[in-house]
Amino acid sequence: MAIQLNTSTFINQNTQYGALPYEFIMANANSATTAATVNCGSTTMQRINTPFTMPSSFGTGVTGGILTQCHMMTNLVNCTMMACLEYNLGSINLATGTFTDGVTMPTKLVAGSSVQTASFIPVMVVNATLTATTPTITVTYKNQAGTNSRSAALVLPTNTAINSAFNIAPHLQGTDTGIQDVTNITKSAGTSGTITVYGLLPLAIATFGNAQSIISNFDPMTVPLYPYRCEASENIAFYSMGVTTTLASVAASLNFIADN
């Protein structure tokens, strides 16, 4: 982030570059997902299958957008949601056992310094329903300190459903806290399905109580999640946590200010 976030800057950025449009995502009819166990993250999660993608280009002088407001709404009860920058670090096809490498976590400008990021909430997501009996999925990765050949193994439930997501953090090797890069993914069993490891950088969080149709307004300016610059073509993905039931609808609105 190059701009300093204060009132004068907001006015100047909007005047000079124009406010970025109020962006929306809508997703509905997610099918029911599979609950986690103590062997795969201890946190039940769903990936909402409609990420928001930043524009592929910006006007002169604009390098990206800073998320300044995020409203999330769902008819789910008893859940939390988060919006994250999402990076495909690698995937495995269970039919063939083939690993397809993804990207490395990016460098980001953070508080004035260029930082090699690592995700402290790496997740394993089922992108196509598995045909597999309690498969052990082993991820080989570079940790937050840049050390290679680290490994984390999760035992997924049998025939895990599409869009089920599992937190890898509790299973990282030793005292590791994050993943910079994934170099391999292997499986112990399974004949079909696809699993992807995503590295997430959190942007916004929300929690929803007992009633439905609640808008939970997250103000990134007062919650100490760093407001990363969201750059061209980057994905902002949404995850719900705590429920496995079928989603009827999820909506989110995103407000950005131009960064330069």
The H or E element containing residue 114 is: strand 113-116
Query: At 163, phi and psi to the nearest 5?
Result: 75, 0
Q: Which of 186, 193, 191 is nearest to 130 (CA)?
A: 193
Q: What SS3 class is residue 170? A: helix
Whichever of 135 and 178 has its CB closer to another protein, that residue is 178
Interface segment toward another protein; rule CB under 8 A; list 41-49, 54-62, 188-196, 244-252:
41-49
**Tokens representing 171?**
């299973």
First to last CA, the chain: 8
Within positions 166 to 225, which residues make up the interface with another protein, using CB under 8 A?
Answer: 167, 169-170, 172-180, 201-202, 205-211, 214, 216, 222-225
DSSP string, 181-203: EEEEEEESS-SEEEEEEEEEEEE
Report, in Å, the least distance between residue 83 CB and another protein. 12
HSE-up (13 A, CA, CB side) for residue 149: 0
**Residues facing residue 128 across a β-bridge:** 194
Interface segment toward another protein; rule CB under 8 A; list 15-23, 30-38, 48-56, 230-238:
30-38
Contacts with another protein by CB under 8 A: the residue count is 59
Whichever of 30 and 167 has its CB closer to another protein, that residue is 167
Binding marks (x or -) toward another protein, 100..139, rule CB under 8 A?
Answer: -----x--x-xxxx-xxxxxxx------------------
Whichever of 188 and 217 has its CB closer to another protein, that residue is 217
Within positions 134 to 163, which residues make up the interface with another protein, using CB under 8 A?
Answer: 143-144
Give the separation between CA 176 and CA 140, rounded to whole angstroms: 13
User: Per this entry, what is the length of the chain?
Assistant: 260
Contacting positions for another protein (CB under 8 A): 35-38, 41-45, 78-80, 82, 105, 108, 110-113, 115-121, 143-144, 167, 169-170, 172-180, 201-202, 205-211, 214, 216, 222-226, 228, 241-242
